[in-house]
Amino acid sequence: MKRFFARNAPAYIFLLPWLIGFFLLALGPILASLYLSFTRYDMVSAPRWIGWGNYEYMFTRDRRFWKALEVTFTYVALAVPARLIMALGVAMLLDKGLRTIGLYRAIFYLPSLLGASIAIAILWRQLFAADGVVNQVLAMVGIQGASWITDPDTSLYTLVVLAMWQFGSPMLIFLAGLRGIPRDLYEAAEIDGTPGWRQFTRITLPLLAPVIFFNLVLQTIDSFKTFSSAFIISNGTGAPADSLLFYTVYLFNEAFKFFRMGYASALAWFLLVIIATFTAIAFFTSKYWVHYENERD
């Protein structure tokens, strides 16, 4: 034992900052929140154990919880495919071999760097406001635009459009995937008279499946966690008419506005269960549609 430490001490010393960070800032709070989810805790008095009380309330009596789920699921169902289709489309255009591809890649990636920032969410709010740029452009062609953000029927869609605009990171991954498909497969298909659309559905999509799968999982997780854009655009309330009450916004308000830390912890853990379930479903179904070049038989 002594010798083990003597030999490995330098390694552990170098690992120490990370270990401290992990145990104090990650694992500790994670376990604490699991405990808190079974308590009533307002940050002033000590947590009080209530067993499954928070979860019971969540599923049986909390209407806003169900509304938040509805908003979030709708958003995920729309934003993930929209962003992936956009990302794949742009990646395919870039893959066609533009001369200044590096520049375009950087330009197209930019929204992703900015996308999650507060500034862009504020900009989005102004673009889609009743007298915003979008409506001004529509007015030029004689269309009377809606009040996109304040109308509960359209507010969520403005966020879906924002999500689409943030296609940069999946696009880069798609582009790398497209580059990995051997060109002579397309040439063989060309000689065999395969039309472009069939090349896309029979060659590109199947060979890109591992990358699509990777992006799908990553983007689904990301979309379930969407917070800052929804928070800014709805002024932190989920308004109008709770149409932007994203799960994370609701969770944040429960925690830091109403100081129901126990309940917020329960919400957070349920979100983890949702994300884990979706990821598991994706992995389970992947064997039916994802082809890996090097998989073992």
Partner 1 sequence: MAGLTLRNVGKRYGALSIIQGLNLDIHDGEFLVLVGPSGCGKSTLLRMIAGLEDISEGTISIGGKVVNDLPASKRELSMVFQSYALYPHMSVRKNLAFGLQNFKVSRAEVERRVAEAARILQIEQLMDRKPRQLSGGQKQRVAIGRSIVREPQLFLFDEPLSNLDAELRVQMRAELASLYARLGTTMIYVTHDQVEAMTMASRIVVLRGGKIEQLGTPQELYTRPQNLFVAGFIGSPKINMLQAKATRDAGRTVVSVAGMPDFAIAELPTDDQALTLCVRPASLRVGSGDVTGQGTIRLVEYLGSETLLHITLSSGQVLLASDNGRAPYRMGDPVTIGFDLSDLHYFDGAGKRIEPTQKESQIQ
Count of positions (residues) in the chain:
297
Distance set, CA 233 to CA 154, 219, 238, 239, 257 (Å): 13, 21, 9, 9, 17
For residues 250, 252, 257, 259, the Cα torsion angle rounded to the nearest 10 degrees is: 110
Q: How many residues bind partner 1 (CB under 8 A)?
A: 22
In angstroms, give the least distance from the CB of 137 to partner 1. 41
- Nearest distance, CB of residue 290 and partner 1, angstroms: 10
Restricted to residues 144-203, the positions that interact with partner 1 (CB under 8 A) are 182, 184-185, 187-195, 198, 202-203
* Residue from 111, 206, 236, 240 in contact with partner 1 (CB under 8 A): 206
The phi, psi pair for 48, rounded to 5°, reads: -120, 125
Work out whether 297 is an interface residue with partner 1 (CB under 8 A).
Answer: yes
Helices (H) and strands (E) in the chain, counts: 15, 2
Q: How far is the CB of 189 from partner 1 (least distance, A)?
A: 8
Q: Which two tokens stand for residue 53?
A: 């009380």
Q: Which is nearer to partner 1, 203 or 217 (CB)?
A: 203
Report CA 190 to chain centroid distance, whole Å.
37
Which CB atom, from 141 or from 191, has the smaller least distance to partner 1? Answer: 191
Provide the minimum distance between the beta carbon of 210 and partner 1 in the complex, in angstroms, as a whole number.
11
Binds partner 1 (CB under 8 A): choice among 48, 225, 257, 291: 291
Q: Are 154 and 138 in contact (CB under 8 A)?
A: no
Q: Which is nearer to partner 1, 202 or 287 (CB)?
A: 202
Least gap, CB of 217 to partner 1 (angstroms): 20
Which CB sits closer to partner 1, 98 or 133?
98
**Cα–Cα distance between 17 and 275 in angstroms, integer?**
30
257 touches partner 1 (CB under 8 A): no
**270 with 55: CB under 8 angstroms?**
yes
Residues 6-65 that bind partner 1 (CB under 8 A): none
Structure token pair of residue 121:
């969410």
Distance in angstroms (rounded) separating the CA atoms of residues 162 and 173: 20
207 counts as binding partner 1 under rule CB under 8 A: yes
Residues of this chain that bind partner 1 (CB under 8 A): 182, 184-185, 187-195, 198, 202-203, 206-207, 209, 291, 293-294, 297
